Structure 1
Amino acid sequence: MKTDLTLHDRTLILHRFPKRNSETLQAWDAGDEYIINYVEELGFTEHKHILILNDNFGALSCWFSAQHKVTMMSDSFIAQTGTRANLASNQCNDISFMTTMDEIPSDIDLVIMQIPKSNRHLTWQLSRLRAALDSNILIVSVNKAKDIHTSTLKLFEKYLGQTKTSLAWRKHRLVFSNANSAQIIPIDPITRWDVDGENFALNNYPNVYSGESLDLGARFMLPNLPRKEGIKHIIDLGCGNGVLSCRMGQLNPTAKFTCVDESFMAVESARQNLIEVLGTDREINCVANNCLDGFMASSADLIMCNPPFHQQQAITDHIAWQMFCDAKHVLSSGGQLLVIGNRHLGYDAKLARLFGNAKVKTVASNNKFVILQATK
């Protein structure tokens, strides 16, 4: 796996986060290189303020921090943590970190954007840029050419302004825009909907996974959640909007909850939803984190987990494995891990390897999903 990004007689050593000895994926892609080359060819003068949206692991932030003031806005705790590590290891200048829920700074000279996967998140960011920027500020965005559709460009034109594209280079394309659309179209950050079969509704910020409807995995898991006597502490690992915790809180009225996700928007959505459904008297803690890094051993009675099988745009199973390992460490003796996943992912074998064959059982299954219980 290549770790050295060399361009314009300069080299950065970049790693993904969390750093793994067996890593097979790069911490940057050709889109990062395309934008770096384009901005360098512009001859941009030093000490400008560059806003970088959705930097994956800090390749752009590290590169441009050498000569410019950089503000990185990202909804990803993983991306921000990886960027901090790469800035430190390359002895880069400090940059400012913000989430995509924060207000855009008023003194920006150039915007660079990795186009997010979610159109809701993209539309939110475009609307915010239109409201915050002067029309002469250039916004340069990038994505794989196959993922820049006519509908994508129409979103840029509707919510941001005049837009054109570059030629494709190494399967990536640049999008050039200015914040000059005829009107500012404000976006409500909250999408709210009732949960089918339950007596509560959910708030969803723009980058929350399955933020427009209940995902099929959660739909299958809800009626299979347990009511357990004496349970004290429940962790919702990869909580999303907190739907599982809301229902578990109703079933287990004395339990305290910790909701963990790497998305700042997910954490805020879960916090709002749990307070609304369970009330202000419940002990609720919602945190952005890399799995259960820093959690105390033997501190939870039950952990719920619906693992993602991708990181950024890459398909990977290392997140699920880290979640399972962290859960075993954090569970108390006799504590249980509840996992839902697609049947083909083979989580039963992974859990048996970690907890032991006799400690893993199937709670429920259908033709698409399986719910597994592992006991420490």
Structure 2
Amino acid sequence: MNTEFLFADRQLTLIRYPEKHQHVSLQAWDSADELVIEHVESALSEGALAEADNPKLMFFNDDFGTLGCWFAHLNPWWVSDSYIAYRSLLENLTANALSPSVNDNTIQAPLKTLTSVDSLSFSPENDIDMVVLKVPRALALLEQQLIDLQRFITPRTQIVATGKVKSITKSVLALFEKYIGTTTTSLAKKKSRLIFATPDKLTQVKSPYPTRWEARSTTGQSLVLDNLANVFSRQSLDIGARIMLEHMTVSANDVVVDLGCGNGVLGVNALALAPDARVIFVDESYMALESARLNVLNNFPDKIDQCEFVASNCLESLLGRENRPAVTKILCNPPFHQQNAITDHIAWQMFSDARELLIKSGHLVVVGNRHLDYHIKLKKLFGGTKVLASDKKFVILGTAKR
């Protein structure tokens, strides 16, 4: 993996967290980062931003901390929905001798970090001079962020977004027009482009998120499910979860981990099956974890003390504890992409971490597309696997720690 970012006579060492699991062809920055760095540096050297004594900047969706490291000297705000992006930023600040100060999983200096959930109610002490967004994969997340911005930007705030040309669609531009104002784009350079939005439509609107729908638990109980903007399968129950619900089993003494929990439907269903079970919801998305928390409160408010909501890269946060939970069952619907890269390293790490965390005879239950061949990975790690259920597209695999 290329870790040396050489640009505009500066050099940074940058990794994609976790570095040891990344493919050699991947790197922590792209041409969209370079394009927006060039633009912001130009704005800082001339014009209104250059005249400010201490310009206030705010960055959204900085995938692996490249922008945060480059502009750390300006003490900006840095907002992300990704725990992996946060850990990447932390590692990269440290690697470049930028001395991050951390308190309660929040970086306080040289920049200030916010989760996407924190930003829903964020109110800065001073006006923000420039907002920089990397266009996220999920349009709903972009929409929520633009709605959030309406609360604290002013007509003088410069709004610039960046992304690959293929990600800057008519739908993306329409959201900027709807929530910010007059929107234009730059010419394409190295397959990336900038978006410029002038804040002339700052009428605050009510967010359409979280979206709410109902699902049926294994016991037949109706479940009310809220989904914040960046939750996978936000508008309906995904097919993998549906087949898992049909075949889940949980007992009263189980300590269950809903790994990659999304809106938490599997963990909530575990509470329907076994009201005395302890459930740990784990995801790298802060909006996913908040959705899961809301959904426990929606359906089993008296069980919230039996639940825990953990931001983590796979199961690292639990494995790193001095007193690990005695996990008996892990339910997992693994993702097979990270940002815009298709990869199997996340599933592999999830399975490896599950084997380490489970107690002896504990079970890992995995649902996934048949073509992903998860049974091969599971056989290597656990020594064998069993097909619990399948259809034309999905398969549920179960394996035990020996």
**TM-score bucket of the superposed structures, by smaller chain:** over 0.9
Q: Please say if residues 76 and 111 of structure 2, whose CA atoms lie closer than 8 Å, have aligned partners that are also in contact.
A: yes
Alignment partner of 1:135 is 2:155: yes
Structure 1 residues 349 and 117: CA distance shift in structure 2, 3 A: same
Root-mean-square deviation over aligned CA pairs: 1.6
For residues 59 and 220 of structure 1, the distance between their equivalents in structure 2, rounded to whole angstroms, comes to 39
Q: Please say if residues 16 and 22 of structure 2, whose CA atoms lie closer than 8 Å, have aligned partners that are also in contact.
A: no
Structure 1 residues 294 and 288: CA distance shift in structure 2, 3 A: closer
Alignment partner of 1:340 is 2:370: no
Offset, 1:294: 3.8
Which letter maps to 2:40?
V
For residues 168 and 39 of structure 1, the distance between their equivalents in structure 2, rounded to whole angstroms, comes to 17
For residues 241 and 225 of structure 1, the distance between their equivalents in structure 2, rounded to whole angstroms, comes to 17
Offset, 1:179: 2.0
For residues 95 and 241 of structure 1, the distance between their equivalents in structure 2, rounded to whole angstroms, comes to 30
Structure 1 residues 104 and 315: CA distance shift in structure 2, 3 A: farther
Alignment partner of 1:100 is 2:88: no
Offset, 1:316: 0.8
- CA displacement, residues 170-196 of structure 1 (integer Å, 9 cap, x when unaligned): 111100012211633221431111115
Structure 1 residues 261 and 22: CA distance shift in structure 2, 3 A: closer
For residues 2 and 30 of structure 1, the distance between their equivalents in structure 2, rounded to whole angstroms, comes to 14
Q: Please say if residues 35 and 174 of structure 1, whose CA atoms lie closer than 8 Å, have aligned partners that are also in contact.
A: yes
For residues 127 and 226 of structure 2, the distance between their equivalents in structure 1, rounded to whole angstroms, comes to 32
Count residues in correspondence.
372
Instruction: Tell me which moved more, 272-281 or 283-292.
Output: 272-281
Residue in structure 2 matched with residue 263 of structure 1 by the alignment: 285
Alignment partner of 1:53 is 2:69: no
Q: Please say if residues 298 and 332 of structure 1, whose CA atoms lie closer than 8 Å, have aligned partners that are also in contact.
A: no
For residues 218 and 260 of structure 1, the distance between their equivalents in structure 2, rounded to whole angstroms, comes to 16
For residues 154 and 22 of structure 1, the distance between their equivalents in structure 2, rounded to whole angstroms, comes to 35
Structure 1 residues 164 and 193: CA distance shift in structure 2, 3 A: same
Secondary structure at the counterpart of residue 88 of structure 2: helix
Select which of 135, 138, 143 maps to 1:115: 135
Residue in structure 1 matched with residue 228 of structure 2 by the alignment: 205
Which letter maps to 1:350?
K
Q: Please say if residues 382 and 400 of structure 2, whose CA atoms lie closer than 8 Å, have aligned partners that are also in contact.
A: yes
Structure 1 residues 182 and 50: CA distance shift in structure 2, 3 A: closer
- CA displacement, residues 106-164 of structure 1 (integer Å, 9 cap, x when unaligned): 43111110111111111111111122100111111011111211121111100111110
Q: Please say if residues 155 and 200 of structure 2, whose CA atoms lie closer than 8 Å, have aligned partners that are also in contact.
A: yes
Alignment partner of 1:361 is 2:386: yes
Offset, 1:277: 1.7
Residue in structure 2 matched with residue 34 of structure 1 by the alignment: 35
For residues 39 and 56 of structure 1, the distance between their equivalents in structure 2, rounded to whole angstroms, comes to 18
For residues 300 and 327 of structure 2, the distance between their equivalents in structure 1, rounded to whole angstroms, comes to 19
Q: Please say if residues 116 and 122 of structure 1, whose CA atoms lie closer than 8 Å, have aligned partners that are also in contact.
A: yes
Select which of 268, 272, 279 maps to 1:246: 268
- CA displacement, residues 305-351 of structure 1 (integer Å, 9 cap, x when unaligned): 01110111111111111110111111111110000011111100000
For residues 76 and 202 of structure 2, the distance between their equivalents in structure 1, rounded to whole angstroms, comes to 29
Alignment partner of 1:220 is 2:243: yes
For residues 363 and 23 of structure 1, the distance between their equivalents in structure 2, rounded to whole angstroms, comes to 32
Secondary structure at the counterpart of residue 276 of structure 2: coil
Instruction: Tell me which moved more, 119-128 or 13-22.
Output: 13-22
Structure 1 stretches of at least 4 aligned residues deviating more than 3 Å after TM superposition:
44-47
Select which of 181, 185, 209 maps to 1:161: 181
Q: Please say if residues 136 and 179 of structure 1, whose CA atoms lie closer than 8 Å, have aligned partners that are also in contact.
A: yes
Which letter maps to 1:99?
T
Alignment partner of 1:370 is 2:395: yes
Which letter maps to 1:209?
F
For residues 258 and 185 of structure 1, the distance between their equivalents in structure 2, rounded to whole angstroms, comes to 35
For residues 276 and 248 of structure 1, the distance between their equivalents in structure 2, rounded to whole angstroms, comes to 15
Q: TM-score normalised to the size of structure 1? A: 0.95
For residues 162 and 109 of structure 1, the distance between their equivalents in structure 2, rounded to whole angstroms, comes to 18
Residue in structure 2 matched with residue 325 of structure 1 by the alignment: 352
The gaps in structure 2 that reach 5 residues or longer are 100-109
Q: Please say if residues 75 and 100 of structure 1, whose CA atoms lie closer than 8 Å, have aligned partners that are also in contact.
A: yes
Secondary structure at the counterpart of residue 200 of structure 1: strand
Select which of 63, 72, 75 maps to 2:78: 72
For residues 354 and 250 of structure 1, the distance between their equivalents in structure 2, rounded to whole angstroms, comes to 31
Q: TM-score normalised to the size of structure 2? A: 0.89
Offset, 1:22: 5.7
Offset, 1:88: 0.9
Residue in structure 1 matched with residue 255 of structure 2 by the alignment: 233
Select which of 166, 185, 190 maps to 2:210: 190
Select which of 189, 195, 199 maps to 1:175: 195
Q: Please say if residues 157 and 199 of structure 2, whose CA atoms lie closer than 8 Å, have aligned partners that are also in contact.
A: yes
